[in-house]
Amino acid sequence: MADTDRGALPPATSRSSYALWTADTLRYGDTDRQGHVNNAVFATFCESGRVSFLYDEALDLRGPGANFVIARLELDYRAELFYPGSVDIGTRVLSIGRSSFRLGQGIFSGERCAATAECIMVLVDDATRKSQPLTAHLRAWLEARLAR
Amino acid sequence: MADTDRGALPPATSRSSYALWTADTLRYGDTDRQGHVNNAVFATFCESGRVSFLYDEALDLRGPGANFVIARLELDYRAELFYPGSVDIGTRVLSIGRSSFRLGQGIFSGERCAATAECIMVLVDDATRKSQPLTAHLRAWLEARLAR
Amino acid sequence: MADTDRGALPPATSRSSYALWTADTLRYGDTDRQGHVNNAVFATFCESGRVSFLYDEALDLRGPGANFVIARLELDYRAELFYPGSVDIGTRVLSIGRSSFRLGQGIFSGERCAATAECIMVLVDDATRKSQPLTAHLRAWLEARLAR
Amino acid sequence: MADTDRGALPPATSRSSYALWTADTLRYGDTDRQGHVNNAVFATFCESGRVSFLYDEALDLRGPGANFVIARLELDYRAELFYPGSVDIGTRVLSIGRSSFRLGQGIFSGERCAATAECIMVLVDDATRKSQPLTAHLRAWLEARLAR
């Protein structure tokens, strides 16, 4: 997967760097015995942020007979989250490959950045369970949202 | 725990029967391989609905050195829930005992009632892990919201 | 759903009352900020206990084009669970109806009973999403395990 | 955090590369509507693998008044997991810093490697919520398990 140069991108910890947004509600059950939101729930927030558009039926980005599978997740934990409250999850497109693409994400509690993340998503054929080229529709949609 | 007569109460499946409300966001991770929101997540929604006021720091219902513990949960599943979407969780007070009380709840997707529930909550002393009498403040708060 | 008389059944809090067993591992992420295993996870343990046989492919209890859906769950919380550790989930058949059946369950940490539960499971047609009669195979399997 | 050279380490995808082991049981509720174990649950497995020794009371690695907080998680998804089954989570120490250390992990279903991960763990003072130097006991324990 060829990465574009990200040296000049807006900072991952700023809300203004993200164009795609989702909100999630913190649950009491998200907490663990340390009193804060459990670290694995952050991976769920990242998922909430990306599937909100990847599986949006009106957008139909995946095309028929295909699904998105995550290949890699990098999560930088920057601040604890505490119940009650909500989070806003911002997402941007970092790079686009042949059958995969890289997203950048920020998890925010108000203006405070609780975590930043990057993930590589792969388009997978439901029948063969193998990667397949991004559809032209998906590619165009991602390119229009490529972070600069 | 002495139960009040609930024969004449408004129906559990009507939004108008509930005075206390919380909202929760459905998560992709809430689904299971049957395609719908997993049944155990409904127990989480019930929890979200009750802790929103039970642990509201401004209300301070539990008093110092005490916590609420659930003694019994009855959940009637009435309709499947599907991602994406959100739920509204309505709660009402059904009866009040010495150290416990019974809540009634409805989980709604729009006007559709996905589940109704009843639970018995007990006030437990943090140190002894034993039940303790409801504080006067808590009792008064619950009585003011007793379903009729 | 016609219930059999359960007056003479062995106690729900005894391991010896259950014939079907599953084990589950407690996870750090199962805890909540009260320090114990979150109450909604108990609903997950009940599910683990019943799906271990309901969805056992070798048993093939549901038959083609059908799935089990839970209609009602009653959970009595009897003791807190703490990480680390494991639970054993015992299950027995309490009664059998036309398109549904009732299971009784006990969640055990060693000999200690942390919770007992009862649930009503319904066999649902995948296409119509409506209940369908239990298959003869499923009915015979349940009857052979009916608690006495 | 100064990293040791990892060029010569045994492969992350081999069971034989790991010395510390934990097992976890797959749950029906771990699946999502794609039919496989949800990707965020992999973060839970990583947690299960590391907290089994980090919070082992007999080992007492954190010392009084301190807790471990995750600073970064990198997860490479290599194969899908399907219910039912179990996973073995292997962990090794990759490098040791002043107040943090890096762990490498492999999530295995039998011999098949479903994911590999690296995480940076920080020892945090409960009172100040700031990082604190690793205790001599913790440092010695980690050094004795440093991957080579």
- Residue by residue, pLDDT tens for chain B (148 residues) are 344 445 689 999 999 999 999 999 999 999 999 999 999 999 999 999 999 999 999 999 999 999 999 999 999 999 999 999 999 999 999 999 999 999 999 999 999 999 999 999 999 999 998 999 999 999 999 999 999 8
Q: Subunits touching D (CB < 8 Å, at least 3 pairs)?
A: A, B, C
Contact (CB, 8 A) for B37 and B86 = no
Predicted local confidence at residue D2, as pLDDT: 41
Q: Which residue among B25, B29, B47 places its CB closest to the CB of A47? A: B29
Contact A76, A92 (CB under 8 A): no
β-sheet bridge partners, residue A114: none
D31 touches chain B (CB under 8 A): yes
The per-residue pLDDT of chain A, averaged, comes to: 94
In this structure, is residue D63 part of a structural domain? Answer: yes
Contacts of A46 in chain D (CB under 8 A): 40
Q: Is residue A94 part of a domain?
A: yes
Facing residue for A47 by CB, picked from D39, D44, D73: D39
Alpha helices by DSSP H, listed for chain B, are: 39-54, 136-144
Backbone angles phi, psi at A87, to 5 degrees: -130, 150
The CA distance from B65 to the nearest CA of chain C, in Å, is 12
Contact C72 B69 (CB under 8 A): no
Whether C75 contacts chain B with CB within 8 A: yes
Q: What is the pLDDT of residues D99-129, one digit of tens each?
A: 999 999 999 999 999 999 999 999 999 999 8
Say which DSSP state D73 is in: E
pTM: 0.94
What residue of B is the nearest CA neighbor of D32?
B32
- A43 contacts in C (CB within 8 Å)? none
3-state secondary structure at position A3: coil
Integer Cα distance of B27 and B4 in angstroms: 37
The tens digit of pLDDT for each residue in C48-95 reads 999 999 999 999 999 999 999 999 999 999 999 999 999 999 999 999
C43: contact with A, CB 8 A cutoff? no
CB of D41 closer than 8 Å to CB of D30: yes
Residue A8 belongs to some domain of the structure: no
**What spatial distance separates the first Cα and last Cα of chain A, rounded to whole Å?**
18
* C15-44 tens-digit pLDDT: 999 999 999 999 999 999 999 999 999 999
Query: Does the beta-carbon distance from C31 to A33 stay under 8 Å?
Result: yes
Statement: residue D45 has pLDDT above 80: yes
Dist. CA A92–CA A124, nearest whole Å: 21
CB contact under 8 A, C40 and B40: yes
CB-defined contacts B:D, below 8 A: 28
> Does D47 reach chain C within 8 Å, measured CB to CB?
yes
Contact yes or no for A47 and B28 at CB 8 A = yes
Asked if the structure places residue D3 within a domain, the reply is no
D contacts of A40 (beta carbons < 8 Å)? 40-41, 43-44, 46-47
Q: Single out the residue of D29, D42, D34, D27 nearest to residue D84, CA to CA.
A: D27
The pLDDT value recorded for residue D7 is 61
User: Among D66, D70, D100, D83, which Cα is nearest to D30's?
Assistant: D83
Measured distance CA(C43)–CA(B77) in Å, rounded: 13
Beta strands in B45-111 (DSSP E): 66-77, 86-96, 100-109
Interface confidence, given as ipTM, is 0.93
Residue D148 half-sphere exposure toward CB, CA atoms < 13 A? 5
Are the beta carbons of A25 and B23 separated by less than 8 Å?
yes
B84 in contact with chain D, both atoms CB, cutoff 8 A: no
Predicted pLDDT of residue A148: 87
Q: Are A37 and A26 in contact (CB under 8 A)?
A: yes
Contact C47 B40 (CB under 8 A): yes
**Candidates D25, D47, D51; nearest CB to C23:** D25
Nearest CA in chain B to D35: B33
How many CB pairs lie under 8 A apart between chains A and B?
33
By CB atoms closer than 10 A (0-12, 13-18, 19+), residue A110 is: exposed
The Cα A64–Cα A82 span in angstroms is 40
Q: With left for phi above 0 and alpha for psi between -120 and 50, is residue A60 left, alpha or beta?
A: left
Concatenate the DSSP letters of all residues of C75-118 into one string: EEE-S---SS-EEEEEEEEEEE-SSEEEEEEEEEETTEEEEEEE
Q: What's the CA gap between D119 and D102, in Å, rounded?
A: 6
D73 neighbourhood in chain A, CB within 8 Å: 39, 43, 73-75, 77
Q: String of b and e for D132-147 (b: at least 16 CB within 10 Å)?
A: bebbeebbebbeeeeb
Quick check: is D1 in a domain?
no
Around Cβ D12, how many Cβ atoms within 10 Å?
Answer: 22
Q: Does the beta-carbon distance from A44 to B27 stay under 8 Å? A: yes
The pLDDT confidence band at residue D3, using thresholds 50, 70 and 90, is: very low
pLDDT in tens, A25-48: 999 999 999 999 999 999 999 999
pLDDT in tens, A81-102: 999 999 999 999 999 999 999 9
Pairs of residues, one from chain A and one from chain C, whose beta carbons lie less than 8 Å apart: 29
What percentage of chain D's residues is helix, strand, coil (to nearest 5)? Answer: 20, 40, 40
When divided into structural domains, chain D yields a total of 1
What's the pLDDT score for residue A146?
95
- Note the pLDDT of residue C148: 87
C104 in a structural domain: yes
Judge whether B66 lies within some domain: yes
What is the DSSP secondary structure assignment for residue D44, as one 8-state letter?
A: H
Tell me which chain D residues have a C-beta less than 8 angstroms from the C-beta of C27: 24, 44, 47-48
- Average pLDDT on A62-76 reads 95
CB C103 within 8 A of CB C119: yes
CATH number, domain with residue D116: 3.10.129.10
- Residue A2 pLDDT exceeds 70: no
The residues, any chain, with a CB within 8 Å of residue A32's CB and separated by 6 or more, are A38, C28, C29, C31, C32, C33
By residue range, what is the domain housing residue D47?
A: 15-143
CA–CA distance, D114 with C31 (Å, rounded to integer): 25
Q: What is the 3-state secondary structure (H, E, C) of C30-53?
A: HECCCCCECHHHHHHHHHHHHHHH
Please report the sign of the dihedral spanned by the C-alpha atoms of residue D46, residue D47, residue D48, residue D53. Answer: positive
Instruction: Determine whether A8 is exposed, middle or buried from the number of CB atoms within 10 Å of its CB (0-12, 13-18, 19+).
Output: exposed
Q: pLDDT at residue D47 above 50?
A: yes
- Domain assignment present for residue A37? The answer is yes
